[in-house]
Amino acid sequence: MFAFGFKAAALAALFTQATALLDARETDTQYMLENDRLHVAVGKSTGQMVEVVLDGQDLLGPVKGNTGKGPYVDCSCVPRGFWTPGGSNLKRFELYKGVDGTGTPYGGVMMEDRYAETNQTIAQWWFLREGETGLHLFTRVAYYNEARPFLRGLGELRTLFRPNTPLWTHLSGSDGNWAPIPSRGANANAITVQDATTYLGNTTDDAYVQQYSDYFTKYTFTEAWRDHDVHGQYADGSTSSDGNTYGAWLVHNTRETYYGGPLHADLIVDGIVYNYMVSGHYGAPTPNITHGFDRIWGPQYYHFNKGGPNATLAELRADAAQYADPEWNAEFYDSIAEHVPHYAPSSRRTTFRATIELPEGAERPIAVLSENGQDFQLNVFNQDSLQYWADVDPATGAVEIPRVREGTYRLTVYADGIFGWFIQDDVEVSKSEEEARQFRWEPESAGREVWRIGVPDKSAGEFKHGYAPDTSKPLQPEQYRIYWAKWDFPTDFPEGVVFTIGESDEAEDFNYVHWSVFFGYANFLRPEPYYENVNNWTIRFDLGANDLRNASTGTLTVQFAGVKTANGNNKWAELPNEPYSNLPYTVALNGKDVETWVIPKIRSGSCGVRSGVICQNFDHKFEFPAGALKEGTNEFVLSLPFNATNKETALLPGTTYVQYDALSDVPGPLLASVSRLWHVYHFILGDQMVEFVKLHDKHGHFVRIADDEVSVSHPDGGYWYAGVRNPDYRFIAPFTVTDPKAKMELSKMLSSGFTLSNILQSEEAVDRTVEYLLGWLGKYSETQQPIELDLFLRYTVFDLLGEVVFSKPFGFIREGRDIGGAVATATASSFTVVFGYYRRLCTLFLMNPLTTWLQILPTSQLLNTAMETVSERQKNVDAHSDLVAHWLKAMQQYPDRLTLQNIQAQATNFMAAGSETAATALQAFIYFMIRHPKALARVHEEMEVAVRNGLCRTRVVTYADAQKLPYLQACIKEALRFYSPVSMPLPRVAPQGGIVIGDRTFPAGTILSICTWVVHLSKEIWGPDAREFNPDRWFRTGATELEKKYFIPFHQSVQ
């Protein structure tokens, strides 16, 4: 008993001693946090941190204006621009003190301020733990204002450690990029050469000038987020009170609440140690502040450390970098989650595991989880957007990403050396998913690659003045980091860029920026603009006979690492006075233009002039007939508009430009690039849908299937339904109306008849028709005779449609024959689709009243039957409750919106198209059930159990009963997915202003189409088993979302 009491007392004493080391308290003027080494204080008057003292060394210095403070928060988020919260009388504070799940004491302060004019709030948290010399930060922005639902964009959100002391001697951006801080004397004598850029070269004894560069800009110390772990400032001991070295660092322990993914780059240090949570730098998008916006950023960790007099910058930096781990301090973050709204503790997180089959040659592969359905570079549209990434093992394809919040994400994989991306939407991440997910990345290809310039690595760094070191200074920073005008384009390329494949060196003969004009404004070294040989770049390459043999189509793939249009960083703005907001970019081959592609403003960002080589990444494929190539020397010319400029509000060069990641020339198939005959040929053969799948496997998301049409398989693609008008001039249905407003209005009028309750009123008659089919099947089975199932299913469907549309079966299945040749007519009518491809001939010879009067079209008989039946029904609209009855009643109520012609055309369309697709769907289901006896046995078992339990009747299953048979439903869906009844890609014309799909922009007037077979068999969408019949896929996590977005067996809607 005594021993136990002694032990308990000793532990209590130790605990008391430990907690005494961590203090969190309030005074009249401050909230203070301190442990045995670090003391920090938040001033009550400003709501900002005003004291940071490590082992007795003041790291901030005295408060003066906005210096001598931090970390503190500010934003560009209020109507007048910037706001530094904490100074109003509306602010409030909370003080925390507790012990986390590891038994470690902690303290914290929360400051929240409200901007009264708009009722928006910002809250900032600082936490300090015992045993640590750093601060854990969270930041919250909330906006609730129904009277003003849209406030503005959240232009910037950042925390700043902003000292006012001579203590700090060096800046550190990355392991390889550091420099002395310019002296006060150098700054006093500085010459402004560009916005936020100065010339310091006149102060020749300054350490920065001697060691790093004659120019200073905060953009020199910018890093891309992918591998970035820590940045900050270093004191070398020469200015400290005790002769020791010190460091102040921002650690990227988590990156989930930032935006832009691993390709985002931002400012990090320039005498201020930044934590940029939101910015528009380099063209990064920023979220809108709308009513209900409420988001938390963090945690991020500001680390302060101390070394001996001889401790190096690299050593103190490495000490801080050890904390750049999302799993570090997880238990502590769980413990404080109750204080931080919207932060998800470990109970709502898991590790994402996957194995990705990588393309050959993939180097430095990386997997990114981000906002579902959105390019991770633009992941600002959902206020709950999160992002995570990790390197993929190039040998095994394995990847693990820890502490991912449960949810639905887009998975993106990219790698050095490989053009394009792997994209998989609707990836569910949950604790219940323990096994590694399997994915296969099939790289885009347009055939055999002839040459490439550069490395597809999402950067322009391999080109001249990119990653190459500036050897004029001892620290040799990468050249792209230095003020752009130092690299004088006219001196480097007096004849312009002329690059010869096999001879030229991309590091010397291909510039890192392709200018429209080499500007004079903001050019300290060449104040007059230079125009000669700037905007047109030439690429020369030789081809032999073997290169051209069997080639039909050529493709030049241009992958961009950045572009600046007239919009600069303001990618969403409408600037009517700027003709180059959307930037034309032209490729010519052997003297003839291939295409002028208009680069959309949403990809714009100031990149090269802000010391950047990684900005918005995207690509475009320029396709041309192989006949445009020749044996011998060929020549591409890549052109920006001559002197394409814009008006800058700051001291910046007003020129447009692009920066290349890599270029590749690929020949690939001839007939489809010059004519529609290829498409017609395969339609007549009946294998066009199979050919489409093969072409997309070979060429990627975008395939030319005719001289004026592109087939699209990108997951971001919409589904287009502007079909070719039927050659009979009387035929006007929603399917043939291309005006969106008229189409919507007509569809609204006709859709009332298609409600489930209306259709089910015909179910008894439908059951009778099915009984006839079962009777014929039984008869042929008894006699052991083969049955032409195709015809009998068509007879059945025609009669079913007759019941539903007219309450009048045609009698085909009862008689077991094609009465009047109607089924044959419906089949023969498919030739009108072929004529639809040649619209002028179609209009001239077929779509005219004379052709209709002569009754020479196969569809004429169907239309005549429909017209006669509808006219007969007009005499007694209420005789039956079918589709025609609903339409006729709608016509009586809205005669200006729905005509008799519309009803006749829709009835015809329903009979012709509906009979074909429904019969095909039935055949596909029966075929796959026969081919997969195990699935058929499960269906039988499911039905038998349902019958025993009284859930459904035997022989003919009702619609209601079928909904109780989930495996049957899965088999039906899987059959329709694997063998879609509609094989035709239905086209749509790109709208005014063009359309962006993935990373490609299609100008207005481009014909785009989607083939259901391509979508349904896409491994990118449905997974690696997409080309296997597997009904169980419909029970997987995320199946409902996949069905909603990508299951389109009848090509009518996304649903």
pLDDT reading at 578 higher than 60: yes
pLDDT digits 0-9 by tens, 621-664? 999 998 999 999 999 999 999 999 999 999 999 999 999 998 77
Query: At 966, is the secondary structure helix, strand, or coil?
Result: helix
pLDDT at 794: 81
Give backbone dihedrals phi and psi of 837, rounded to 5 degrees, phi first: -70, -20
Confidence class for position 863, pLDDT limits 50, 70, 90: low
The distance of Cα 1000 from the centroid of its chain, to the nearest Å, equals 12
Question: 215-219, 428-432, 918-922: which has the minimum mean pLDDT?
Answer: 918-922
The token pair at 658 is 């692009």
Sequence-distant (≥ 6) Cβ neighbours of residue 190 within 8 angstroms:
182, 198, 199, 200, 216
pLDDT digits 0-9 by tens, 792-843? 888 887 777 777 777 777 787 888 887 766 666 655 555 555 555 544 445 4
Mean pLDDT score, 383-400: 97
Mean pLDDT score, 941-964: 84
pLDDT at 394: 96
Distance CA 69, CA 585 (A): 47
Cα→Cα distances 266→222, 226, 263, 762, Å: 5, 11, 10, 64
Q: What is the DSSP letter of 457?
A: S
Higher pLDDT, 896 or 945: 945
Mean pLDDT score, 42-71: 98
Confidence class for position 765, pLDDT limits 50, 70, 90: confident
Query: At 86, is the secondary structure helix, strand, or coil?
Result: coil
Assign 3-class secondary structure to 114-134: EECCCCEEEEEEEEEECCCCE
Confidence class for position 918, pLDDT limits 50, 70, 90: confident
Mean pLDDT score, 591-619: 95
pLDDT reading at 188 higher than 60: yes
pLDDT reading at 730 higher than 50: no
Going through 657-731 in order, the beta strands assigned E by DSSP cover: 657-668, 702-706, 709-712
Mean pLDDT score, 509-521: 97
pLDDT at 829: 53
Helix (H) or strand (E) holding 217: strand 215-217
pLDDT at 879: 65
Mean pLDDT score, 416-440: 93
pLDDT reading at 538 higher than 50: yes
Beta bridge partners of 553: 625, 668
CA 104-105-110 angle, 5° bins: 130
pLDDT digits 0-9 by tens, 99-134? 999 999 999 999 999 999 999 999 999 999 999 999
pLDDT reading at 22 higher than 90: yes
* Strand order, beta sheet including 215-217: 191-194, 197-199, 215-217
What radius of gyration, in Å, describes the C-alpha atoms of the chain?
34
pLDDT reading at 365 higher than 60: yes
Q: What is the DSSP letter of 846?
A: I
pLDDT reading at 721 higher than 90: no
Percent of the chain having pLDDT more than 90? 61
Mean pLDDT score, 32-38: 98
Handedness of CA 828, 833, 837, 838 (dihedral sign): positive
The token pair at 338 is 């109750």
The distance of Cα 990 from the centroid of its chain, to the nearest Å, equals 20
Query: At 40, is the secondary structure helix, strand, or coil?
Result: strand
Mean pLDDT score, 1024-1043: 91
Give backbone dihedrals phi and psi of 553, rounded to 5 degrees, phi first: -130, 140
pTM higher than 0.75 for the full model? no
Higher pLDDT, 58 or 446: 58
Q: Is 631 within 8 Å of 548 (Cβ atoms)?
A: yes
Task: Please give the full DSSP string across 823-870, using - where no structure is assigned.
Answer: HHHHHHTTHHHHHHTSHHHIIIIISSHHHHHHT-SHHHHHHHHHHHHH
Mean pLDDT score, 394-410: 97
Q: Is 228 within 8 Å of 172 (Cβ atoms)?
A: no
Mean pLDDT score, 299-314: 98
Helix (H) or strand (E) holding 389: strand 388-391
pLDDT digits 0-9 by tens, 245-283? 999 999 999 999 999 999 999 999 999 999 999 999 999
Distance CA 386, CA 649 (A): 33
Higher pLDDT, 865 or 1039: 1039
pLDDT digits 0-9 by tens, 209-249? 999 999 999 999 999 999 999 999 999 999 999 999 999 99
Domains and CATH numbers, the chain: 12-339 (2.70.98.10), 348-372+385-440 (2.60.40.1120), 451-668 (2.60.120.260), 734-1046 (1.10.630.10)
Beta bridge partners of 25: 32
Q: Is 652 within 8 Å of 658 (Cβ atoms)?
A: no
Mean pLDDT over all residues of the chain?
Answer: 86
Beta bridge partners of 666: 555
